[in-house]
Amino acid sequence: MFGIQHFLLSIILIIVTVFYSVFFYYFLEDQQRKTDLILENIRHDLSESAYVISTETHNLESIKGFTSFLNRKVANNPLIDSMAVAYGNQILVTTDPHILAPPPRQLTVSRFDKISAAQLIQQQIFEAPIRFYIQDEPHELSLFIYPDQDYLINYFSQHQIDFIVLFGLIPLVLFALFWLALRQFLTNPLEKLRQYAYYQSEIPSQCKIRELEYVRASMVQTFDRLEQERDELYRLARTDELSGLANRNQLNERLSWLIAEAARNNSEFALLFMDLDDFKKVNDSLGHEIGDKLLQSVAGLIQDVLRKYDIIARVGGDEFVIVLSHYKNNLELTHIIERVLARIKEVHLVDIHPVKVAASIGVAFYPKDGNNIVNLLKNADIAMYEAKNSGKNQFKFFTEELHRQVLAEIELEHDIREALDHEQFELYYQPKISIHDFKVIGAEALIRWNHPTKGFIPPDQFIPAAERNGMIVELGWWILRQAIWQQMQWKQQGIIDIPVSVNLSAVQFLDNHFDENFKDLIHTPGFEASKLDVEITESVFIERSHNNLNSLFRISKLGATISLDDFGTGYSSLAYLKSFPLNTLKIDKSFMDDYASETGAAFIETIVKIAQTLKLHVVAEGVETHEQLEYLKRIGCDSYQGYYCSAPLPVGRFENFIREHIAAKFCD
Ligand code: C2E
Ligand code: CA
Ligand code: CA
């Protein structure tokens, strides 16, 4: 394989070689032709002079008379330097007085063929015989012509120079020009095109040759398109299509740069993990299209509030990550975050729907809360959950304490699952006693955890955590099943047939399958729905109240009863009591502790009165003394629970308690 330069060079060399061979041949031809012309000229003068002299000479003396004739010949012909006539060794007449003797034989030429230019230029003297008669006696003279050497040399060399210039140099110049043109218009552009194809460095300038220009233009066009496509792909790979914000890829990339830079400068930055509050509700009620537009609107607002160099990314459905590195102090940072939250809280007009949404934000700092992307994101996420748990629409900074809490909760989740598998949970039962006749009218199921290594864990320590991480749902079903089964056991065994009260957490209502699962459970063959009492707290009314209200009505419709636990400690809105299908009010233990004081008594008596007015049953919790019981009896409270009669007991001991109680009839 050889290049176009070499290829064309070889062709040029061949052309040049052929050209110069032809040129050389013609040059030699031309030399010879010119030589022949000169020889012809000399020969003509020689033979004419010889003829004139021979016809007009009658004796040797008269030869001298031709001096002027010869001089004229020499003068007329620039080729001839001089002429001489010799007789034997004697010069009879000459045009050049320096010629004293005839030239030696070997220097003379009498035949004119086959004489080259080179021979002509060398000292050649032309000779012709002059024959004449003196009184019929033949004599022979020799006529010599001496060519003008200088003139001939001059003539040939001038001719040579002309020839070389015309046929030798001009083509050479032309070839050089051709060569330059070739480089300029063909090989250089080709090389540029090659480099462009390889490195796409600089766009080659327009080519003068049409075909090359076509190639160049199409290359530029193709590369342009490829570059655009590559840019587009790069953009797509790094942007979130819906919001136009950075996506996780770009976030990771920019965070790595930022971390490297912050490490160099010993600077800090804040990573915000933001999650919209109740975005699912918007999606469920208004549809995904509106949900998407809301996300776009939120993205636009964040961009509005923040500055160009702040990183804003959407990393999940309604999850955003914001990285702020340009703030003077935490106060300014707080203001920025508050501005973001405030803008998001403004009413968004999506199509024609006014939509309200809020957000919770968790903040983690580099390097304090993590020196790599994973830890920063994780800890900001933890702080965000804390913001959600603290009531949403706010922000929280990450703390070590939070971290420990999260770790403990993760461990707890794992432990609860294992406890369910290995039957570490047990239900204790605390009797509910009627204050009218001191009979056992019910039993509250209270969970206990016998952990194999941590020992006995009271419900206060794991129920709230299980509510936070959602494990309460699974655990709650186990408790309900277990309590229902126990009620049926006691009934079948003839021990006692009383309702069991089961504590239900508000979180359990969030389970989408709550209603159908509950229905299945209460329809357990052999179970009487009225023998289940569910204890709920006021928090049920606050979270998703509409759904919860429906669930409560279903529970009530199925035949189970509902008790409002810890009454008086929460919102205690009378509106709930009217609109919800309640059967029982439970007076919280804190009121019983205070029964002796004026305010404590006022509360207890008010609750009892409300219950009587609304025809609700009342249970007083945490009754520990005979005095408390006497007091309750006085004010007309229906029933009580408490250590005074019995602490919550494991099944075996509860059964013993029942037997003894029926026999002895105590707790009064
Ligand atoms: P709670 O529903 O208000 O239960 C009453 C608590 O008071 C029980 O504590 C019980 O042992 C205690 N108690 C009863 N009588 C007396 C008394 O005379 N004096 C004193 N000092 N305490 C008394 P426990 O079993 O430790 O339960 C604590 C809380 O844990 C419960 O409060 C309830 O909110 C929750 N819990 C317990 N078991 C379950 C359960 O199975 N499911 C759900 N969701 N929560 C449960
Ligand atoms: Ca309870
Ligand atoms: Ca209670």
Q: Does the C-beta of 622 come closer than 6 Å to ligand 1? A: yes
For residues 259 and 370, membership in a common domain is answered with yes
Residue 159 vs residue 460, higher pLDDT? 460
Of all atoms in ligand 1, which is nearest to the CA of residue 472? 44
Q: Which residues contact 489 (CB under 8 A, 6 or more apart)?
A: 495
- In eight-state DSSP terms, residue 87 is E
In a domain, 257, yes or no: yes
What digits encode the pLDDT tens for the residues 584-615?
Answer: 999 999 999 999 999 889 999 999 999 999 99
DSSP string for 574-638: HHHHHHS---EEEE-HHHHHTTTSHHHHHHHHHHHHHHHHTT-EEEE----SHHHHHHHHHHT--
* Residue 56 belongs to a domain: yes
pLDDT > 70? residue 665: no
CA 503 – ligand 2 centroid, Å? 5
Establish if 535 belongs to a structural domain.
yes
- CA 325 remoteness from chain centre: 22
Of 113-117, 128-132, 182-186, 532-536, least confident by mean pLDDT is 113-117
Predicted confidence at residue 338, as pLDDT, reads: 95
Whether the CB of 508 sits within 6 Å of ligand 1: no
Query: How far is residue 425's CA from residue 479's CA, in Å, rounded to a whole number?
Result: 9
* Ligand 1 contact via 357 beta carbon (within 6 Å): no
* Protein residue with least CA distance to atom 12, ligand 1: 622
User: 96-110 b/e with 16+ CB inside 10 Å = b?
Assistant: eeebeebbeeeebbe
Q: In 3-state terms, what secondary structure has residue 622? A: coil
* C-alpha 580 – ligand 2 centre gap (Å): 18
Any atom of ligand 1 within 6 Å of the Cβ of 82: no
Give start and end residues of each alpha helix (H) in 57-116: 67-76
Residues 189 and 207: their CA atoms lie apart, in Å, by 7
Q: What whole-number distance in Å separates Cα of residue 384 and Cα of residue 243?
A: 21
Residue 12: give its domain's CATH number.
Answer: 3.30.450
Give the H or E element holding residue 127: strand 125-134
| Residues above pLDDT 90, as percent of the chain | 57
pLDDT value at residue 604? 94
CATH assignment of the domain containing 314: 3.30.70.270
Least confident of 178-182, 339-343, 483-487: 178-182
264 and 318 share a domain?
yes
Type and span of the H or E element at 540: helix 539-542
DSSP-assigned beta bridge partners for residue 109? 126
Which position has the token pair 């080659």?
204
Question: Do residues 644 and 624 touch, judged by C-beta distance below 8 A?
Answer: yes
Average pLDDT over residues 75-87: 92
In-domain check, residue 175:
no
Cis peptide upstream of residue 367 (ω within 30 degrees of 0): yes
Instruction: Provide the whole-model pTM.
Output: 0.57
For ligand 1, say whether the CB of 74 is within 6 Å of any of its atoms.
no
Separation between Cα atoms, residue 601 and residue 591, nearest integer Å: 8
In this prediction, residue 123 carries a pLDDT of 67
3-class secondary-structure state, position 636: coil
- At a CB cut-off of 8 Å and minimum separation 6, what does 657 contact? 431, 646, 649
Gap between the Cα atoms of 251 and 238, Å rounded: 8
Rg from Cα positions in the chain: 63
Nearest to residue 45, comparing CAs of 78, 93, 77?
77
- The neighbouring-strand residues paired with 191 are none
SS3 105: helix
C-beta of 463 in contact with ligand 1 (< 6 A): yes
Q: Find the mean pLDDT for residues 537-552.
A: 79
Q: Whose CA is nearest to atom 37 of ligand 1?
A: 446
Q: What is the per-residue pLDDT across 106-163, written as a single tens digit (0 to 9) for each?
A: 888 888 777 888 888 876 799 999 988 877 888 888 999 999 888 888 888 887 888 7
Beta bridge partners of 313: 246, 321
- Say which residues have a Cβ less than 8 Å from residue 211's Cβ, sequence separation at least 6: none
Q: Which long-range contacts (CB under 8 A, 24 or more apart) does 215-224 make?
A: 216/189, 219/193, 223/196
Same-domain pairing of 243 and 232: no
Last residue of a domain, one of 398, 425, 457: 398
**In the predicted model, is pLDDT for residue 539 greater than 90?**
no
Ligand 1 centroid distance, CA of 11 (Å) = 107
Rounded to a whole number, what is the distance in angstroms from the first to the last CA of the chain?
115
pLDDT (tens digit per residue) in 273-303: 999 998 988 888 889 999 999 999 999 999 9
Q: What is the 3-state secondary structure (H, E, C) of 488-532?
A: HHHHHCCCCCCCEEEECCHHHHHCCCHHHHHHHHHCCCCCCHHHE
Domain final residue, candidates 376, 398, 420: 398
Same domain, 388 and 433: no
What DSSP designation does 620 have?
E
Nearest CA to 567 out of 543, 532, 530, 535 is that of 535
Atom of ligand 1 nearest to the CA of 427: 41
Residue tagged 């964040």 (tokens): 302
Residue 516 CA, ligand 3 centroid: distance in Å: 27
What's the pLDDT tens digit per position in 490-502? Answer: 999 999 999 999 9
Ligand (nearest to CA of 588)? 3
Query: From the alpha carbon of 623, which atom of ligand 1 is closest?
Result: 18
Whether residue 566 has its Cβ less than 6 Å from ligand 1: yes
User: Which atom number of ligand 1 is nearest to the Cα of residue 586?
Assistant: 3
**What residue's CA is closest to ligand 1, atom 20?**
622
Ligand 1 proximity of 127 Cβ (cutoff 6 Å): no
- Same domain, yes or no: 54 and 138: yes
What helix, strand, coil percent values describe the chain, rounded to 5?
55, 20, 25
338 shares its domain with 212? no
Q: Are residues 294 and 392 in the same domain?
A: yes
Whether the CB of 460 sits within 6 Å of ligand 1: yes
pLDDT tens digits, residue range 625-642? 999 999 999 999 999 999
CA distance 381 to 387: 10
384 and 492 in a single domain? The answer is no
CA distances (Å), origin 574, targets 228, 564, 591, 595 = 67, 12, 18, 22
> What's the gap in Å between 413 CA and the centre of ligand 2?
23
Ligand 1 pocket test, pick from 428, 446, 473, 654 with the greatest ligand atom count within 8 Å of Cβ, gives 446
Asked whether 473 lines ligand 1 (CB < 6 A), one says no
Helix/strand/coil (H/E/C) assignment for every residue in 301-329: HHHHHCCCCCEEEEEECCEEEEEECCCCC
CA distances from 597 to 570, 585, 590, 618 (A): 21, 21, 12, 20
Instruction: Answer whether 103 contacts ligand 1 (Cβ < 6 A).
Output: no
Residue 575 reports pLDDT greater than 80:
no
- Give the chain's domain count: 4
Q: Which residues does residue 133 pair with via DSSP β-bridges, in sequence order?
A: 138
In a domain? residue 475: yes
Q: Is residue 303 part of a domain?
A: yes
Q: Are residues 217 and 251 in the same domain?
A: no
Do 545 and 416 fall within a single domain? yes
* Cβ of residue 628 lying under 6 Å from some atom of ligand 1: no
Q: Is 642 in the pocket of ligand 1 (CB under 6 A)?
A: yes
Condensed to tens digits (0 to 9), the pLDDT of residues 426-435 reads 999 999 999 9
Cβ of 344: how many Cβ atoms within 10 Å? 23
- Residues 6 or more apart whose CB falls under 8 angstroms from that of 264 comprise none
Print the domain residue range for 515.
410-661
505 lines ligand 1 (CB under 6 A): yes
Ligand 1 close to Cβ of residue 636 (< 6 A):
no
**Residue of 503, 539, 624 best suited for mutating to test ligand 1, as the one with most atoms within 8 Å of CB:** 503
- Distance from the CA of 569 to the center of ligand 1, in angstroms? 15
Indicate whether 60 and 153 sit together in one domain: yes
Q: Is the CB of 437 under 6 A from ligand 1?
A: no
The residue ranges of DSSP E strands in 244-304, in sequence order, are 269-277
Residue with CA at minimum distance from ligand 1 atom 3: 566
Tell whether ligand 1 has an atom less than 6 A from the beta carbon of residue 423.
no
Alpha carbon distance 78, 110 (integer Å): 20
- Of the three residues 368, 398, 428, the one that is the final residue of a domain is 398
Burial bucket for residue 245 (CB in 10 Å: 0-12, 13-18, 19+): buried
pLDDT at 534: 98
In a domain, 188, yes or no: no
Q: What SS3 state is found at 261? A: helix
* 503 Cβ inside 6 Å of ligand 1: yes
Are 306 and 343 part of one and the same domain?
A: yes
Q: How far is the CA of 562 from the centre of ligand 3 (A)?
A: 13
459 CB near ligand 1 (under 6 Å): yes
In terms of Cα–Cα distance, which of 428, 453, 508, 516 is closest to 475? 508
Q: Is the CB of 458 under 6 A from ligand 1?
A: yes
Element (H, E) at 90: strand 90-94
Tokens of 228: 């655009």
Tokens found for residue 217: 């233009």
Nearest to 82 by CA among 73, 64, 95: 95
Q: Which amino acid is at 98?
A: H
CB 461 within 8 A of CB 448: no
Distance 248 CA to ligand 2 centre (A): 46
- The rounded Å distance from CA 446 to ligand 1 centre is 6
pLDDT of 561 over the 60 cut: yes
Domain for residue 528, yes or no?
A: yes
